[in-house]
Chains A and B, each alone.
Chain A
Amino acid sequence: MAETSGNGKVIRVEVLRYRPEQDEEPFLQGYDVPFTDDMSVLQGLQYIKDWLDGTLSFRWSCRMAICGSCGMMIDGEPRLACKTFLRDFPAGTVRVEALAHFPIERDLVIRMDDFLAKLERIKPYIIPKEERTLAQGEYLQTPAQLDVYEQFSSCINCLLCYAACPQYGLNPDFVGPGIMALLHRYNADSRDGAAVERMEIAGSEAGVFNCTAVGYCSEVCPKHVDPANAVNQNKTRAAGDYFLRLVRPKGGAK
């Protein structure tokens, strides 16, 4: 196998290693990887693990940009390793690091406990506006109602937007772009009735107003979710809730 891969081309892959049981801090380790034009960065890492250094740790699953597992910093940019190709680094070297702004668990594996806790808090599921029995039939929705939230439902939780958000890096309490996109996905759904509950999180100290509209989250999103748009739409809504509360004392903001 090792002999068949490669057509004479070799790329130097610099990987940020961190082995918590023996390293004080991360360090770069280089590997020479033979490659063909159809090989992704993920396949390069798999080559390293299979043939050069079995101790290298990284997350992956689907290899086709839908599971959201292989997000990493590739030459300083948050990318999916499966959607980035070794042929696109003509200088013959590429640097691969764990996703920025997250604690490193080991090598390229980040710790996502914070994201998962936040995800749970926003109740990322439809809480029906009105309960219907099976006999009453399905919840209907028009194409126009679908269009309002469809792009936000494309989120694959890959966390590239968090690695692109300096405000999250500076203040990890910030709810962040991905969670706001998912929060908005359910709030904007015509079948859902829990927007007031979720807006408590959007309008909180850790909520949308931590965003300074850098906009890089939307640039790096591999699914064109445009999380910056979700965050900023909810700035307007959170501000509205804040002022409406003065005239209607049961708004979402506290």
Chain B
Amino acid sequence: MNTPDPRRPYVRPMAGWWRRNPFFVEYMVHEATAFFVAAYALVLLVGLLRLAQGEVAWNGWQEALRSPWSVAFHGVLLAAMCYHSWTWFRIMPKTMPPLAVRGKRVAPGVITACGVAAAVVCSLVALVLAWGATR
């Protein structure tokens, strides 16, 4: 490095930074929900793999999904994914160029609400379609 600075500036360590402020703790929690999204993608991928392996494998996979442990696990996944979506749309207004409707700026809360509404509508449509296809 360079010659030591005679002013001896003190650089504070960053270790454990995310525990210093409740805002950072919440940030780490909502970022961690991405692991739950990945976990569900894995569940679906395994299903696809079992489907390719034939009827017995496919039926076995479906049977496994019906076990109480699996149902509980999916409950946890659903909760984590809802929280993930909410935090995603909460930050959305900060990530967009200003949006104007009839010459007036759209408020951040309205953008978040529209995002959440779109997610709810899409989820319901997917649910109804899947319901119809499996009956």
Which of A's residues lie within 8 Å of B, judged by CB?
Answer: 18, 20-21, 25-26, 76-77, 100, 103-105, 111, 144, 147-148, 166, 169-170, 212-216, 218-219, 226, 228-229, 232-233, 235-236
The answer to whether A170 and B17 have CB atoms under 8 Å apart is yes
Residue of A nearest to B6 (CB): A20
Question: Given contacts A105-B7, A105-B9, A213-B95, are A170 and B14 in contact (CB under 8 A)?
Answer: yes
The answer to whether A25 and B94 have CB atoms under 8 Å apart is no
Stretch in B18-26, B35-43, B77-85, B127-135 touching the partner:
B18-26
Give min CB distance, A32 to chain B, whole Å.
26
Q: Mark B78-103, 1 if CB is under 8 A from A, else 0.
A: 00000000000001011111100001
Within 8 Å by CB of A216, from B14, B21, B105, lies: B21
The answer to whether B10 and A26 have CB atoms under 8 Å apart is yes
Task: Please name all residues of chain B whose beta carbon is closer than 8 Å to the beta carbon of A226 when the two chains form the complex.
Answer: 94
Task: Please name all residues of chain A whose beta carbon is closer than 8 Å to the beta carbon of B20 when the two chains form the complex.
Answer: 76
The answer to whether A20 and B9 have CB atoms under 8 Å apart is yes
Within 8 Å by CB of A213, from B7, B11, B23, B94, lies: B94
Query: From residue 41 to 91 of chain B, which have CB atoms closer than 8 A to chain A?
Result: 91
A157 to B38, CA, bound (A): 40
Known A-B contacts: A76-B20, A148-B98, A170-B17. Give 7 more (CB < 8 A).
A76-B21, A169-B14, A169-B17, A213-B95, A216-B23, A216-B27, A232-B94
Within 8 Å by CB of B24, from A104, A213, A216, A228, lies: A216
Q: Mark B1-19, 1 if CB is under 8 A from A, else 0.
A: 0000001111110100110
User: Interface range on chain B: under 10, 10 to 19, 20 to 34, or 35 or more?
Assistant: 20 to 34
Give min CB distance, A90 to chain B, whole Å.
18
Q: List 18 A-B contacts (CB under 8 A).
A: A18-B10, A20-B9, A104-B10, A104-B11, A111-B9, A147-B105, A169-B17, A170-B17, A213-B91, A214-B23, A214-B24, A214-B27, A215-B27, A215-B91, A226-B94, A229-B93, A229-B96, A232-B95
The answer to whether A233 and B96 have CB atoms under 8 Å apart is yes
Give min CB distance, B29 to chain A, whole Å.
12
Residue of A nearest to B103 (CB): A144
Residue of B nearest to A151 (CB): B98
Residue of B nearest to A236 (CB): B97
The answer to whether A229 and B12 have CB atoms under 8 Å apart is no
Task: Please name all residues of chain B whose beta carbon is closer than 8 Å to the beta carbon of A100 when the two chains form the complex.
Answer: 12
Task: Please name all residues of chain A whose beta carbon is closer than 8 Å to the beta carbon of B96 when the two chains form the complex.
Answer: 229, 232-233
Task: Please name all residues of chain A whose beta carbon is closer than 8 Å to the beta carbon of B27 when the two chains form the complex.
Answer: 214-216
Give min CB distance, A149 to chain B, whole Å.
10
Residue of B nearest to A226 (CB): B94
Give min CB distance, A100 to chain B, whole Å.
7
Task: Please name all residues of chain B whose beta carbon is closer than 8 Å to the beta carbon of A219 when the two chains form the complex.
Answer: 23
The answer to whether A166 and B18 have CB atoms under 8 Å apart is yes
Residue of B nearest to A103 (CB): B9
Within 8 Å by CB of B10, from A20, A147, A212, lies: A20
Task: Please name all residues of chain B whose beta carbon is closer than 8 Å to the beta carbon of A170 when the two chains form the complex.
Answer: 14, 17
A35 to B67, CA, bound (A): 64
